[in-house]
């Protein structure tokens, strides 16, 4: 009977993580579709956060009222850490990502973002002196060889002088998100997944809206109707739902298993970009994609064995 329950738990967790990864992968495609209506990056990001904010505020309020947290208020230091991590992981990372998407394809964007587990590994090695095994080092070389191959063909095919800038911005976003993952890993056990995620997202939304207020004085109501429809879709389908689906998936099957399932993300984006944006990858970009996914999976599996052993 216990095996049956564990099997159902694994199946449900895998389904939630898989669905969350697919939904997250739609973001780049929706952003590229919105750019066809000449909306600027900061306004689009502000609309995404504005539509997402009510959901995260509701979850933050409800999670604070849960019995297990009633006697565990968040202290000032932890509150500041959540604020800083939210700004780093969902404001700066998203800002770099949205601006970078003006210059590169959605497929390559997802591929570059997908290297964040390798950056988590490197941050751990530099900041916390965590050792890197030979297998992990080989996986790092494999991953960045794949990025170099995909990038070189993308540069050749694009003909856009800002292509390098776009790729550098996306990579900066991946680095900011990796730093967020490293920092959040030390707070999540104490704060709780839902409570931490909703508070961090609320902090990032406040930062984005403040940025827009300074730059554009919150002039968010002069865009074509399609922009608002796409921003609302992105908020619900590519932000709120996958955030909580993935959180629940991690709770049920663990972060290692969820990360492995998340490797479907780049392939999903490539398929969606083909159908909705008409993007097509050259054979070198497909080869680079295979190398990147292989390298990230090796690192994820190695970390999972270390955690289990």
Containing domain of residue 39, as a range?
Answer: 2-308
The pLDDT profile of the chain, 309 residues, written as one tens digit per residue, is: 445 546 687 888 888 889 988 999 999 999 999 999 989 999 999 999 999 999 989 888 887 766 666 556 778 888 899 999 999 988 999 999 999 999 999 999 999 998 888 888 888 888 888 888 888 888 889 889 989 998 888 877 776 778 999 999 999 999 998 888 888 877 877 787 788 888 888 999 999 999 999 999 999 988 999 999 999 999 999 999 988 888 788 777 776 677 778 788 888 998 999 999 998 878 888 888 898 988 888 877 766 666 554
Q: Can you tell me the distance from the alpha carbon of 265 to that of 139, in angstroms, rounded to the nearest whole number?
A: 19
Q: Tell me, yes or no, if the pTM score tops 0.75.
A: yes
Could you give the number of structural domains in the chain?
1
CA distance linking residue 118 with residue 200, whole number of Å: 23
Using CA atoms, how far apart are residues 299 and 266, in angstroms rounded to an integer?
Answer: 17
Residue 70, pLDDT score? 59
Query: What distances in angstroms separate CA 236 from CA 26, 29, 35, 159, 242, one per listed residue?
Result: 11, 14, 18, 34, 8
The residue among 60, 84, 40 whose CA lies nearest residue 215 is: 40
**pLDDT at site 37:** 95
Q: What is the pLDDT of residue 67?
A: 62
- Supply the pLDDT for residue 255: 65
Residue-level pLDDT at 301:
74
Q: What's the distance, CA 251 to chain centroid?
A: 18
Nearest by Cα to 249 from 4, 3, 15: 15
């Amino acid at each position: 009977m216990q095996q049956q329950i564990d099997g159902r738990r694994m199946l449900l967790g895998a389904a939630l993580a898989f669905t969350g990864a697919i939904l997250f992968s739609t973001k780049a495609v929706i952003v590229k579709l919105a750019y066809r209506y000449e909306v600027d990056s900061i306004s689009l990001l502000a609309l995404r956060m504005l539509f997402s904010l009510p959901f995260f505020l509701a979850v933050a309020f409800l999670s604070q009222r849960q019995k297990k947290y009633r006697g565990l208020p968040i202290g000032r230091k932890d509150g500041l850490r959540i604020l800083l991590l939210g700004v780093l992981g969902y404001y700066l990372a998203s800002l770099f990502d949205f601006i970078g998407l003006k210059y590169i394809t959605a497929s390559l964007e997802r591929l570059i973002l997908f290297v964040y587990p390798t950056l988590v590994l490197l941050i751990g090695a530099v900041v916390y002196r965590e050792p890197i095994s030979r297998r992990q080092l080989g996986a790092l070389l494999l991953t960045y060889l794949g990025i170099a191959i995909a990038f070189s063909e993308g540069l050749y095919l694009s003909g856009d002088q800002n292509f390098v800038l776009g790729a550098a911005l996306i990579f900066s976003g991946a680095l900011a998100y990796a730093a967020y993952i490293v920092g959040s890993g030390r707070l999540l056990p104490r704060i709780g997944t839902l409570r931490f995620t909703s508070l961090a997202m609320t902090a990032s939304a406040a930062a984005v809206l403040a940025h827009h207020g300074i730059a554009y004085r919150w002039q968010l109501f002069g865009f074509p109707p399609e922009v608002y429809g796409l921003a609302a879709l992105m908020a619900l389908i590519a932000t709120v739902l996958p955030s909580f689906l993935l959180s629940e998936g991690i709770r049920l099957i663990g972060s290692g298993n969820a990360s492995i399932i998340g490797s479907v993300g780049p392939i999903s984006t490539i398929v969606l970009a083909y159908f909705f944006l008409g993007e097509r990858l050259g054979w070198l970009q497909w080869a680079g994609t295979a190398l990147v996914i292989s390298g990230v999976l090796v690192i994820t599996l190695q970390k999972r064995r270390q955690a289990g052993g």
